[in-house]
Structure 1
Amino acid sequence: MSTRTWFITGVTSGLGREIAAQLLERGDRVAGTGRNTDALHEIAATYGDAFWPAELDVTDTDAVRTTIDRAAAELGRLDVVVNNAGYGMFGAAEEFTDAQIAHHLATNLTGSITVARAALPHLRANHGGRIVQISTYGGQAAGPGGSLYSAGKFGIEGFMEALAAEVAPFGIGVTIIEPGGTATGFRRNAVLSTPMTAYDGTPAAMVRGLPASTRPSPGDPVKVAAAIIAATEAEPAPLRIVLGSDAYQYTCQALTERLAGIADQRDSAAAVDITD
């Protein structure tokens, strides 16, 4: 495949950095953003002009639009946009402050929406391209202690699923990536709520030990990144890609239980229809 130009948020660590590194090693160009300027400079020093760095907080709507427009202008085009910036936030819903919730959703939900919307004019001008949304199996399977995290991921998956149908006429594909646990430091960097004693011993309290957990993550970030890159080369664009045996297990279980929960409601659902 010919050289492509990528715009990736959150390239300074974790999965975003691994994706960027693999792309740069194979000769693609990457416009990479993040809040850690030292890490951005480090990547730029390694890969030179193939890497276009920009400090960016995706909660800053104006900055997102300006940065994407500038990247497209200076690099000539954008072919693939990867929404990777985000973070985990775990605890009982009642334990978080309003400010924590607002920032989390501004990053994980509306930040990704803003990036996609800002990129669309450039992709339409190219008569094609891809938008890749890094989600999680938590965007399909919600559990106690993950209510706010899943709120953002369920929301962005709904947005991207609808967006895929909206932009298909322009030759733009949308793919949602649903990884399982991956050895990227995600758990270590997760934000936890301030515990309330009322939730001691409840299912929601199980996430309190997440950052210090020594349980190994099954996902290999090198393989996950390679699979994400490969997904952007598939035609037509796959709507969802599940990565990791744990992600597959929990997603299938959640979808099966969801369908089972409404399977016997056909008659009761129809009972409220308007009849002559």
Structure 2
Amino acid sequence: MAQRTWLITGINSGFGRHMTEQLLERGDRVAGTVRNVNSVDDLKAKYGDLLWTDQLDVTDIPAIYTVIDRAFTELGTIDVVVSNAGYGLFGAAEELTIEQITHQLNTNLSGSIHVVRASLPHLRTQGGGRIIQLSTVGGQAAFPGGSLYHATKWGIEGFTEAVMQEVAPFNIGVTIVEPGGARTNFRHHGSKIGPKLDAYENSPASAARRILEDSKAVSLGDPAKMVKIMIDSVDQHPAPKRIVLGSDSYQAIHRALSGRLQDLELQKELAFSTDFPKDNPSVAYKF
């Protein structure tokens, strides 16, 4: 197997950490970003020059471009860019503070957009590569108590699906990954909760709070298995558009898509009724 070089944001924990460990163990190079430069000292000590690191908070947009430019300059060709850094913000929309909302959008949505944008000129110049965008089951299915988290993940999925069509002529493959719950530290350390409002105590939104506050709750997904599938996807040609991981993710997305398709079919006659007559001479644009 040929050695690849990967750029991964947020390698200190969660999927980023699992992916970095698997890649380094098999001999690939990783350019990893972290907010705390000392958080991966153990990996540096074990793998030496295979691991290149730089400090990055993805809410700092100028720094994203600086760090990614530096990674490509110092390492040369980077085969795969993994936009992974992010976290979950939960609570009813009314419960969240303005500061929390802004930070969630700046991290998960704006940060991810600029990681991809900063990488594209380099990938085009080198003649191709892969981008893996970490999303979630919450990028296709919505649950009460997750409105802002969903806003970022539905947003980044729309952005990514458009980009994958834009860059296909440049031999750049793009994949969206939609994991369900996994036994990482996301639930208890990678998530934040808005201030509690008594009005929502018995509302559907309170379910998200209860899950996060339950220290005994255990997710179904094995992160090591999920990460291996993400890594192996780079050998698939063409790149898979989406990868759904976990039975909970599959079931929730299937239910959401089936419901939306059923609703759409019921509106077909209504939708067509708003068109100009077919003999209208105006130019019609179709998506």
Q: Under TM normalisation by the shorter chain, which class is it?
A: over 0.9
2:235, 2:66 → 1: CA distance?
28
Q: Which amino acid aligns with 2:206?
A: A
Asked if structure 2 preserves the Cα contact closer than 8 Å seen for 1:14 and 1:186, the reply is yes
1:218 shift after superposition: 0.7
Q: Which moved more, 1:37-46 or 1:140-149?
A: 37-46
Asked if structure 2 preserves the Cα contact closer than 8 Å seen for 1:6 and 1:31, the reply is yes
State the TM-score, normalized to the length of structure 2.
0.94
Q: Which amino acid aligns with 1:57?
A: D
2:60, 2:42 → 1: CA distance?
24
Asked if structure 2 preserves the Cα contact closer than 8 Å seen for 1:41 and 1:53, the reply is no
Asked if structure 2 preserves the Cα contact closer than 8 Å seen for 1:24 and 1:30, the reply is yes
User: In the alignment, which residue of structure 2 is the partner of 1:202?
Assistant: 203
Which runs of no fewer than 5 residues in structure 2 stay unpaired? Answer: 281-287
Structure 1 residues 88-141: Cα deviation after superposition (integer angstroms, max 9, x where no partner): 111100111111111101100110110000000111111110000010010000
1:46, 1:59 → 2: CA distance?
30
What is the SS of the residue equivalent to 1:58? coil
User: In the alignment, which residue of structure 1 is the partner of 2:283?
Assistant: none
Q: Which amino acid aligns with 1:250?
A: A
User: In the alignment, which residue of structure 2 is the partner of 1:174?
Assistant: 174
Q: Which moved more, 1:206-215 or 1:142-151?
A: 206-215
State the TM-score, normalized to the length of structure 1.
0.98
Q: Which amino acid aligns with 2:208?
A: V
Say whether 1:187 aligns with 2:179. Answer: no
Which runs of no fewer than 5 residues in structure 1 stay unpaired? Answer: none
What is the SS of the residue equivalent to 1:95? coil
Question: Runs (4+) of structure 1 moved beyond 4 Å?
Answer: none
2:144, 2:73 → 1: CA distance?
45
Q: Which amino acid aligns with 1:91?
A: G
Q: Which amino acid aligns with 2:197?
A: M
User: In the alignment, which residue of structure 2 is the partner of 1:148?
Assistant: 148
Say whether 1:104 aligns with 2:112. Answer: no
Asked if structure 2 preserves the Cα contact closer than 8 Å seen for 1:33 and 1:40, the reply is no
What is the SS of the residue equivalent to 1:27? coil
1:197 shift after superposition: 1.1
Matches within 5 A, 1:244-255: 244-255=246-257
2:261, 2:192 → 1: CA distance?
32
Count of residues in correspondence between the two structures: 276
Asked if structure 1 preserves the Cα contact closer than 8 Å seen for 2:10 and 2:16, the reply is yes
1:34 shift after superposition: 1.1
1:267 shift after superposition: 1.1
Matches within 5 A, 1:14-163: 14-163=14-163
Match of 1:272 among 271, 274, 287: 274
1:156 shift after superposition: 0.3
Asked if structure 1 preserves the Cα contact closer than 8 Å seen for 2:28 and 2:50, the reply is yes
1:169, 1:94 → 2: CA distance?
43
1:212 shift after superposition: 3.0
1:261 shift after superposition: 1.2
2:113, 2:41 → 1: CA distance?
27
Q: Which amino acid aligns with 2:41?
A: H
Asked if structure 1 preserves the Cα contact closer than 8 Å seen for 2:211 and 2:217, the reply is no
